[in-house]
Amino acid sequence: MSRASVTRMGHAAVRVRDLDRSARFAEEVLGMRESDRIDGVSYLTCNERHHELMLVEAEELALDHIAFEVADGDALAEVGGRIEAAGWRLLDEPLEAGIEDAVRCVGPAGFVFELFVGMRLEPEAPFPQARIRPRAIEHATLTVSDLEQMKGFFIDMLGFDGSDEVPGAIAWLRCSGRHHDFNLMAGPDSFHHQAWEVPGLSEIGAVADLIGERGQTMVWGPGRHSPGHVLFGYFADAEGVINEFCADVEPVPSDYQPVIWPDVAATGNRWGAVSPEGFVDMGIPVSRSGRA
């Protein structure tokens, strides 16, 4: 990385219309547990961290914010100052539960990004409903109307490095030793999906079984993306938000040279099944409430 800033994908916060239903889906299908529910916000986790997902009770379905963890308070001050100096607006909002400190800003196209430090740990808490349990949130994907602007924000403001690309269509970005920690796709400005790391293909098959038991079908997969060598399976939650279970994300060295991939079916899935029609348009809106 050119500058030490973000160290990992932290969580997504999604505004949902039926908080109980969405939290129940997260526990029964995503394999999570609710660590807190405070003032209409459900904090959910799949590991010892206080939360890997926030569900915010609201009238309309929308992305509230995307959060990334930084190493310490000095790094938080440095990246917050960099963002403000570049002219992006910082938000004065209450601190969410389970973290020590945070900075939020409004980035390109009105997306809200949070940088935080000090996530509380709860290593002994049980997961009584989990038939499958992911290890952590692995990445999230936005569709954006200006791919180059958003990619520049991630690299210049947040300190990400670029990994592979399908020029003009998809950009994979990393802040760790893995092929990607965040993805961008060209399309309408929206939150497309959140991805959960699982040990392997058997867990992707197990969630497909769970989805089938609920009378649903998988959105796409199982399959294997060529960039990053990633096993995947996509499915929709109770509100229609797309989730991905993924495994085998390729480790890469710090001097990794990005690969330019062709915009062909085998790039998306080397096993053959192409993404469903309208896949890029399956995201949910970005919340604009109070952030114009």
pLDDT of residue 3: 57
Is 6-117's fold the same as 136-281's?
yes
Q: Is 85 helix (H, G, I), strand (E, B) or coil?
A: helix
Q: Which of 83, 78, 76 is nearest to 154 (CA)?
A: 83
DSSP per-residue string spanning 171-240: EEEESSSBS-SEEEEESSSEEEEEEEE-SSHHHHHHHHHHHHHTT---SEEEEE-SGGG-EEEEEE-TTS
What's the angle, vertex CA 135, arms to CA 175 and CA 258, rounded to 5? Answer: 30
Share of the chain above pLDDT 90, in %: 93
What's domain 136-281's superfamily in CATH? Answer: 2,3-Dihydroxybiphenyl 1,2-Dioxygenase, domain 1 (3.10.180.10)
Q: Which of 68, 102, 78, 67 is nearest to 4 (CA)?
A: 78
For residue 88, the tally of other CB atoms under 10 A from its CB is: 15
Q: Where are the alpha helices (DSSP H) in the chain?
A: 19-28, 73-85, 147-156, 201-213, 265-268
47, 136 contact by CB (below 8 A): yes
- For the chain, the domains span 6-117, 136-281
Return the higher-pLDDT residue of 128 and 63.
Answer: 63
Please list the residues that pair with 57 across neighbouring strands.
Answer: 16
pLDDT of residue 70: 97
pLDDT of residue 129: 79
Phi first, then psi, for residue 26 (nearest 5°) are: -60, -40
Phi first, then psi, for residue 127 (nearest 5°) are: -125, 75
Q: How confident is the model at residue 260 (pLDDT cuts 50, 70, 90)?
A: very high
Please list the residues that pair with 91 across neighbouring strands.
Answer: 104
Average pLDDT, integer, range 160-179: 97
What token pair was written down for 96?
């969410």
Phi first, then psi, for residue 154 (nearest 5°) are: -65, -40
Q: Tell whether domain 6-117 is in CATH 3.40.720.10.
A: no
Cβ partners under 8 Å of residue 62, min gap 6: 14, 15, 191, 284, 285, 286, 287
pLDDT of residue 292: 41
Task: Write out pLDDT tens, residues 65-104.
Answer: 999 999 999 999 999 999 999 999 999 999 999 999 999 9
**Residue 21 DSSP class:** H
Worst-scoring range by mean pLDDT, 82-96, 120-134, 140-154? 120-134
Amino acid at 238: A
Greatest alpha-carbon pair distance for the chain in Å reads: 51
Phi first, then psi, for residue 153 (nearest 5°) are: -65, -45
Task: Write out pLDDT tens, residues 174-214.
Answer: 999 999 999 999 999 999 999 999 999 999 999 999 999 99
Q: How confident is the model at residue 288 (pLDDT cuts 50, 70, 90)?
A: confident
Average pLDDT, integer, range 273-281: 96
Average pLDDT, integer, range 96-118: 97
Phi first, then psi, for residue 20 (nearest 5°) are: -60, -45
* Distance, CA of 121 to CA of 128 (rounded, Å): 18
Task: Write out pLDDT tens, residues 1-14.
Answer: 345 589 999 999 99
